[in-house]
């Protein structure tokens, strides 16, 4: 039985799923949309559009290789983007909705990764195992929206646990930006990170240096507009990760406010940030 709240997702993906099935391939929905749909956080009744905060993109993964994906979507999509094809991703737009379809990957690679080549996989489980966190390592098989959750992400989501599918060292070595993403998920989903995950960030935090400034900025932006970013920001400070890209933040812990004599300007600052409206510029100013 497909829960009522997932029906719009089914309606929106069925044409594409039929095309992949007819061509002999499997297609799965993955990523944030799966996580948020399971939590009932998506406004799926809404048509795609520019209104911020309510819209969503669709991420898919498939056993089809990039050339085959391109052939399947060529005469269906309104527009197709190929700049990610080298990494297995075909981007497209359909009816105002942005979509990305990526061949299963045996390892995680990003455009600014130092790893030169992509290794594709045939099994969805291999792909999911190389994703950042268990709550993001779930897939919905199309066309029937069957949940594939080899690392119990759904339990972690409901038990408020942040864990990695394989060891945190593997996940963070695949992509050090994930250490920063941890802060966003801790804050945005009220998750408690596993001790091994925290230890791995403390150990690997210097690896953030290989990540581009743009990707770091984008993740920080997403963290600061969560309803209450405090726990995420404390995580970045307490693990030492903030020291790697925003040393002004941990430095506040040493400051004394000469007028109000707050003991800890950092605690005060984070409380002020959380009290501001969740707008990017306002929160960053605070």
Q: How far is the CB of 174 from ligand CTP (least distance, A)?
A: 8
Angle (CA) 136-137-141 rounded to 5° is 110
- 161 versus 269: smaller Cβ distance to ligand CTP: 161
Q: Which is nearer to ligand CTP, 42 or 242 (CB)?
A: 42
Quote the least distance from Cβ 31 to ligand CTP, whole Å.
Answer: 3
Minimum distance from residue 131 beta carbon to ligand CTP (Å): 4
Q: Alpha carbon of 161 to those of 127, 185, 227, 242, 267: distances in Å?
A: 21, 10, 18, 22, 24
Q: How far is CA 281 from CA 28, 221, 245, 265, 269, in A?
A: 36, 9, 18, 20, 15
Asked if omega into 87 is within 30° of 0 (cis), the reply is no
Based on CB atoms, which residue is closest to ligand CTP, 177 or 208? 177
Residue 113 or 230: the one with the smaller Cβ distance to ligand CTP is 113
- Tell me whether residue 193 or residue 269 sits nearer to ligand CTP (CB atom): 193
Closer CB to ligand CTP, 131 or 283, in the complex? 131
Return the residue nearest ligand CTP (CB atom): 32
Under a CB-based contact definition with an 8 Å cutoff, are residues 201 and 162 in contact?
Answer: no
CB of 162 to ligand CTP, least distance (A): 13
Q: For 86-111, b where at least 16 C-beta lie within 10 A, e where not — what string?
A: ebbbbbbebeebbbbbbbbbebbbee
- The pair of structure tokens assigned to 173 is 């070595």
CA–CA dist 171, 160 (Å, integer): 19
Q: Check: CB of residue 200 under 8 Å from CB of residue 182.
A: no
Note the residues at the interface with ligand CTP (CB under 6 A). 30-32, 59, 108, 131-132, 136, 175, 177-178, 181
What's the closest the beta carbon of residue 177 comes to ligand CTP, in angstroms?
5
For residue 92, give the 3-state DSSP assignment. Answer: strand
Q: How far apart are CB 44 and ligand CTP at their closest, in Å?
A: 14
Helix (H, G, I), strand (E, B) or coil at 201: helix
């Amino acid at each position: 039985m497909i829960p009522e709240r997932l029906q719009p997702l089914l309606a929106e993906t069925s044409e594409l799923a039929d095309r992949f099935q007819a061509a002999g391939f499997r297609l799965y929905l993955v990523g944030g949309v799966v996580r948020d749909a399971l939590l009932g956080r998506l406004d799926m009744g809404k048509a795609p559009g520019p209104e911020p905060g309510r819209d969503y993109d669709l991420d898919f993964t498939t056993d089809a290789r990039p050339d085959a994906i391109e052939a399947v979507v060529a005469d269906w999509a309104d527009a197709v983007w190929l700049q990610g094809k080298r990494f297995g991703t075909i981007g497209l737009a359909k009816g105002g909705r942005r979509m990305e379809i990526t061949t299963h990957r045996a390892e995680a690679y990003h455009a600014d990764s130092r790893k030169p080549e992509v290794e594709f996989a045939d099994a969805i489980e291999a792909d999911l195992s190389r994703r950042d966190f268990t709550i993001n390592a779930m897939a919905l098989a199309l066309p029937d929206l069957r949940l594939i959750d080899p690392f119990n992400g759904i339990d972690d989501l409901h038990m408020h646990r942040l864990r990695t599918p394989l060891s945190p060292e593997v996940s963070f070595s695949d992509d050090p930006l994930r250490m920063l993403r941890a802060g966003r998920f801790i804050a945005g989903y009220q998750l408690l990170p596993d001790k091994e995950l925290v230890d791995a960030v403390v150990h690997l935090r210097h690896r953030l240096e290989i990540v581009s400034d743009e990707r770091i900025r984008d993740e920080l932006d997403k963290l600061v507009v969560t309803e209450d970013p405090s726990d995420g920001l404390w995580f970045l400070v307490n693990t030492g990760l903030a020291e790697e890209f925003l040393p002004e933040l941990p430095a506040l812990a040493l400051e004394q406010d000469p007028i109000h004599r707050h003991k800890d300007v950092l605690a005060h600052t984070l409380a002020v940030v959380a009290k501001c409206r969740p707008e990017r510029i306002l929160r960053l100013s605070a």
